Amino acid sequence: MTGTTENQQAARRSDATRATILDAARERFLADGYEKATIRAIARDAKIDPSMVMRYYGNKAGLFAAAVAIDPGLPGLSLEPREEIGRTLVRHFLTLWEENGELTALMRVGVTDPAAADRMQSVLREQMIPLARRLGHEPEQAQARAALCVSTVLGLALTRYVLRFPASVALGREEIVDWLGPTVQRYLTAPTP
């Protein structure tokens, strides 16, 4: 872990430190949000000097950007049977949120910071709207339907993972799929009401 010099990207000796910082940053941003998660606290967690954070990530914004770099990766959903796409989508988002705590951090910040909000929106723009379009809707319809789907899953994420309402946390995984799946399905495939 400390001697190899010929990697694809010139493995630096400081990679371990970099990773430690990033882990601590993710944890802090997730727990406290952007403003309250101070560089000093993150550095303390990582047991390094605050100035190292600056050296490696430029500034606080850069650190945050590095900490929440994530790929939503909606898989080739057009392959799914059309009647199952709602449930599949909901299931996919559930695992996504449960595996990546960064998403909670991103939401905490996005609510105040336009740049982070835009990052969240990109999922809608680049993945959900094209998906709705692939399902045969004209542009406006695709926009509206995709917005409704995103609002559905983000609403659940908000009450369950961010605000942690007990009633929402108590819901079982498959219970959620059973309720929200048909909803998303309807938003995507039902005729306009």
Residues that bind its own copies (CB under 8 A): 32-33, 35-36, 107-108, 110-112, 117, 120-121, 124, 129, 143-144, 146-148, 150-156, 158-160, 162-168, 170-171, 175, 178-180, 182-183, 186-187, 193
Residue (19 or 115) nearer to its own copies, CB? 115
**∠ CA 177-185-108, rounded to 5°:** 60
Q: Does 38 bind DNA (CB under 7 A)?
A: yes
Cβ of residue 17: shortest distance to its own copies, in angstroms?
Answer: 28
Closest CA to 93 of 148, 159, 150: 150
Q: Does 60 bind DNA (CB under 7 A)?
A: yes
Which tokens hold the place of 60?
Answer: 């606080």
Q: Does 172 bind DNA (CB under 7 A)?
A: no
Q: What does the DSSP assignment read for 24-83?
A: HHHHHHHHHHHHHS-HHHHHHHHTS-HHHHHHHHSSHHHHHHHHT--------GGGS-GG
Which residues of this protein are in contact with DNA, per CB under 7 A? Answer: 2-3, 5, 12-14, 16-17, 37-41, 48-55, 59-61
